[in-house]
Structure 1
Amino acid sequence: MARTLIIGGHGKVALQLEPLLAERGDTVTAVIRNPDHEADVTATGAQAVVTDVTSLDRDQLTNLVSGNDVVVWAAGAGGGSPERTYAVDRDAAIGAIDAAAAAGVPRFVMVSWIGSRADHGVAPDDAFFAYADAKWAADEHLQASGLDWTIVAPGALTQDPPTGRISVDPEGDGAVSRADVAAVIAASLLEPATVGRTVRFGNGDVPIADALRGL
């Protein structure tokens, strides 16, 4: 059993991850910004903490993550302004990584996207550029952090039901259900082969546990 802190706890992936972890006996804390979402979180078996991580300084972030075994970053600006995207997807994420290192939290899982690379290929005048640039900066920072990190990098997200199966490094846009993304995160916390790895995936035919074991 682990103590897991999920930042961005009311997101569509996080709300499906929380019950998976709670049902296997983990203590799950979900950080949310809107107090109106607290009931949705507690219904999953998680405990809710209401705070805006973009407003916290380093000491406050370190206090927030302290005492946990795992931090899962599942927050995102959701396609807002470039300023908001950088504030959440880059700056707050990097702050949480540094806070986890300072607090002695060993494990950090970043929810990213399949195209997150230095050469992501998104043009600076593309509306998606701020997201691509911010996510790569945060992913790169995590890789250099010294933490036991995993970057979960799904393709296009769907609302389809879970299949329990994925394809690693798929062709095309790597479409995959949010439910399967949640299952990949949950499984990655039990699979040592995911430490120090970026898992790019989409729908497929390989059971999730087998796909992760074979990395």
Structure 2
Amino acid sequence: MMKLLPTLIAVALASSSPVVDAFQSSFVGGGSLLSSSVPRSHSALCMKTIAVFGASGLTGSECVYQALKDGDTVIGLTRNPSNLKIPKGSGGADADKPLTDPKLTMIAGDVTKKSDVDKVFEKDIDGVIVALGGKTSDVGETMLTDGTKNVIAAMKEKGVKRLAVVTSIGAGDSENQAPFFFKVLMWTAMKKIFLDKNNQEAAVAASGLEYCIVRPGGLTVDPPTGVINVIEGEAGSIPRADVAQFCLDAVRVEDFPYIGKAPCISSVGGTSWTKDRSKAARGEM
């Protein structure tokens, strides 16, 4: 339990369990692609333009890197674009090198400023990933909520519907899925962070968009496992690379089964998402 705490704290600052559901992702790392066991719609096979907010963060950079590997166009917003590096998890030997690509546009800006957010939507966007994070002492006590509301407003103005937002295990109604010692931190040192996360989730749930609130367990920078479990019980850990793949699937796969839901995800244990996905989509799990 104590070994897991640092990764759980990382979840909150970034953004053995009974398993409801699991799936095999298409990206396994090192640039190699495997056949996915997830039935993808035809539209998901087309190249997309993905907006990533918090693009230079540990999870955001995984989203950017993997989307580019898949052939998508990416527009990212971050305070300091020069901080964007190839991520450790899926970057292999290239990890920590500057991340550049002809299909990548990075915008320097503050997500709490609507005018900066609007710059991202000057081009047509197919899907949006919000992977914001940071200490409240650095980014403020309401950055997650204020920034996400700006993103939602811009999406509505431009008619963009698909949204994935990374929050944390313990947020919203998942408090009981956090390990006890992490709950103590949620109630004390991290109280303001979780108030912001809870308000952020509420804004997303009320948005009317095709959203997926993604609540990862303890975050690591390990290579992707390719398997992501949607859990009901206490959280384990999960590589940021797997979280990124889940978010990308959420905004690219037309019939993604967790739209309008807030799944908690982990890399430990699991059954087949292909087997159970229709029930999950109907909320019958």
TM-score (normalised: structure 2): 0.65
SS of the equivalent of 1:68 reads: coil
Specify the alignment match of 1:80 in structure 2. Answer: 136
Structure of higher RCO (CA pairs closer than 8 Å, 6+ residues apart): 2
- Asked if residue 177 in structure 1 is aligned to residue 239 in structure 2, the reply is yes
Task: Choose from 43, 51, 63 the match for 1:17.
Answer: 63
Deviation of the 1:198 alpha carbon:
1.0
Specify the alignment match of 1:30 in structure 2. Answer: 76
- Asked if residue 134 in structure 1 is aligned to residue 187 in structure 2, the reply is no
Deviation of the 1:155 alpha carbon:
0.7
Amino acid at match of 1:187: D
Deviation of the 1:146 alpha carbon:
0.9
Could you tell me the percent identity over the aligned residues?
27
Q: Deviations over 1:109-129 (max 9, x none)?
A: 101112111584867861211
Work out whether residues 116 and 136 of structure 1, in 8 Å CA contact, stay in contact via their aligned partners in 2. Answer: yes
SS of the equivalent of 1:91 reads: helix
Name stretches of at least 5 consecutive residues in structure 2 with no aligned partner.
1-46, 86-97, 177-182, 281-285
Specify the alignment match of 1:71 in structure 2. Answer: 128
Task: Choose from 206, 210, 216 the match for 1:144.
Answer: 206
Work out whether residues 170 and 202 of structure 1, in 8 Å CA contact, stay in contact via their aligned partners in 2. Answer: no
In 1, Cα distance between equivalents of 2:52 and 2:273: 21
In 2, Cα distance between equivalents of 1:70 and 1:201: 21
Work out whether residues 236 and 267 of structure 2, in 8 Å CA contact, stay in contact via their aligned partners in 1. Answer: yes
Work out whether residues 15 and 44 of structure 1, in 8 Å CA contact, stay in contact via their aligned partners in 2. Answer: no
Deviation of the 1:134 alpha carbon:
0.6
SS of the equivalent of 1:192 reads: coil
Change (3 A) 1:35 1:167: closer
Change (3 A) 1:135 1:98: same
Count of matched residue pairs: 211
Q: Deviations over 1:48-102 (max 9, x none)?
A: 1111222x23x553343352111110111x2232x83433212112221122122
In 2, Cα distance between equivalents of 1:119 and 1:24: 32
Work out whether residues 167 and 211 of structure 1, in 8 Å CA contact, stay in contact via their aligned partners in 2. Answer: no
Change (3 A) 1:4 1:204: same
Change (3 A) 1:100 1:13: same
Deviation of the 1:103 alpha carbon:
2.0
* Deviating more after overlay: 192-201 vs 4-13: 192-201
SS of the equivalent of 1:4 reads: strand
Deviation of the 1:20 alpha carbon:
1.8
Work out whether residues 30 and 41 of structure 1, in 8 Å CA contact, stay in contact via their aligned partners in 2. Answer: no
In 1, Cα distance between equivalents of 2:77 and 2:195: 24
Work out whether residues 42 and 48 of structure 1, in 8 Å CA contact, stay in contact via their aligned partners in 2. Answer: no
- Asked if residue 164 in structure 1 is aligned to residue 226 in structure 2, the reply is yes
TM-score (normalised: structure 1): 0.84
Change (3 A) 1:208 1:9: farther
Work out whether residues 31 and 49 of structure 1, in 8 Å CA contact, stay in contact via their aligned partners in 2. Answer: yes
Deviation of the 1:45 alpha carbon:
5.4
Work out whether residues 155 and 176 of structure 1, in 8 Å CA contact, stay in contact via their aligned partners in 2. Answer: yes
Deviation of the 1:43 alpha carbon:
5.2
Change (3 A) 1:162 1:8: same
Change (3 A) 1:30 1:87: same
Amino acid at match of 1:114: I
Change (3 A) 1:188 1:213: farther
Question: For the pair shown, which has the larger CA radius of gyration, 1 or 2?
Answer: 2
Amino acid at match of 2:118: T
